[in-house]
């Protein structure tokens, strides 16, 4: 069961960035609402461990640091998946990340604090079976998790015109990927800029992610697709 939840966990990347970028939210805070569902030939298997549809929110708060939180809610109030990130401005580096889930009596909460100066990542894990804390070696000088990666794409969508190499972090582990910009198109009468985060030789450890951003100054993610072992998680922005 926990492997299925871990499969729903998202990604992050490491890329370079300009020195300055304008806030995306205007007021400093943004709350986007999504409907989500699982789709794929083995969706029924994923449903054994988690609901197949529901509602979700992506909240972003911009200040000296940027705080972003994605919450995926199932049909039952007690079932949810949460991914949280505190990052440096412009999405250049994740300072700390958290992923957690709860389903009936089962729960898991993992928190990672990155310290590139000391080349370490502290991982704290809380589960039904007990708690643990360990320090892992961090080779990246600027680790990014999934929400940092999405925020980075929003900040720099107009600059990424050709494929760009990156390193995606899931928890404290990094994976090589490529950011691939796609031609602008129209989705539900909205002009969008699609991007693909394509894994490179990960042996299926992480799946491909596709993000559609509005073709304007805010670059709002109107749709996010996450390919996983048993199904694809699809989030679509609600108007």
Instruction: Determine what percent of the chain falls in helix, strand and coil, rounding each to the nearest 5.
Output: 10, 50, 40
Q: Are 179 and 213 in contact (CB under 8 A)?
A: no
Range 94-114 burial, b when 16+ CB lie within 10 A, else e: bbbbbbbbbbeeeebebbbbb
User: What are the tens digits of pLDDT across the range 157-216?
Assistant: 999 999 999 888 888 888 888 999 999 999 999 999 999 999 887 676 778 899 999 999
Q: What per-residue confidence (pLDDT) applies to 168?
A: 82
pLDDT-derived band of residue 4, with 50, 70 and 90 as boundaries? very low
Q: Residue 13 above 80 pLDDT?
A: no
HSE-up of 100 (CA within 13 Å, CB side)?
20
User: What are the tens digits of pLDDT across the range 27-68?
Assistant: 789 999 999 988 875 544 445 456 778 899 999 999 889 999
Q: What per-residue confidence (pLDDT) applies to 196?
A: 95
Higher per-residue pLDDT: 58 or 13: 58
Region label for 104, one of left (φ > 0), alpha (ψ between -120 and 50) or beta (otherwise)? left
Q: Report how far residue 45's alpha carbon sits from residue 1's, in angstroms, rounded to the nearest whole number.
A: 10
Q: Report how far residue 123's alpha carbon sits from residue 112's, in angstroms, rounded to the nearest whole number.
A: 5
pTM of the model as a whole = 0.84
Portion of the chain with pLDDT greater than 90, in percent:
51
List all residues 6 or more positions away from 112 whose beta carbon is below 8 Å from its beta carbon.
96, 97, 98, 121, 122, 123, 124, 145, 171, 172
User: What are the tens digits of pLDDT across the range 88-138?
Assistant: 988 889 999 999 988 878 899 999 999 999 999 999 999 999 999 999 999
């Amino acid at each position: 069961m926990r492997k299925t939840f871990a499969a729903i966990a998202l990604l992050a990347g490491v890329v370079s960035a300009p020195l300055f970028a304008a806030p995306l939210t205007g007021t400093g805070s943004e709350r986007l609402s999504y409907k989500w569902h699982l789709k794929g030939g083995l969706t029924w298997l994923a449903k054994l461990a988690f609901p197949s549809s529901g509602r979700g929110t992506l909240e972003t708060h911009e200040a000296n640091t940027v705080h972003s939180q994605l919450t995926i809610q199932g049909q039952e109030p007690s079932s949810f998946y949460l991914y949280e990130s505190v990052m440096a401005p412009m999405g250049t580096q994740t300072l700390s990340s958290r992923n957690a889930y709860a389903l009936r009596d089962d729960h898991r909460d993992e928190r990672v604090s990155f310290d590139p100066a000391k080349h370490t990542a502290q991982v704290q894990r809380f589960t039904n079976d007990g708690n643990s804390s360990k320090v892992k070696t961090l080779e990246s000088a600027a680790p990014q998790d999934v929400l940092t990666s999405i925020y980075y794409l929003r900040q720099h969508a107009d600059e990424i015109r050709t494929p760009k190499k990156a390193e995606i972090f899931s928890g404290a582990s990094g994976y090589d990927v490529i950011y691939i910009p796609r031609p602008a198109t129209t989705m539900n009468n909205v002009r969008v800029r699609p991007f693909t985060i394509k894994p490179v030789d990960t042996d299926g450890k992480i799946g491909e992610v596709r993000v559609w951003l509005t073709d304007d100054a805010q670059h709002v993610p109107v749709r996010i697709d996450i390919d996983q072992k048993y199904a694809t998680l699809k989030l679509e922005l609600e108007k």
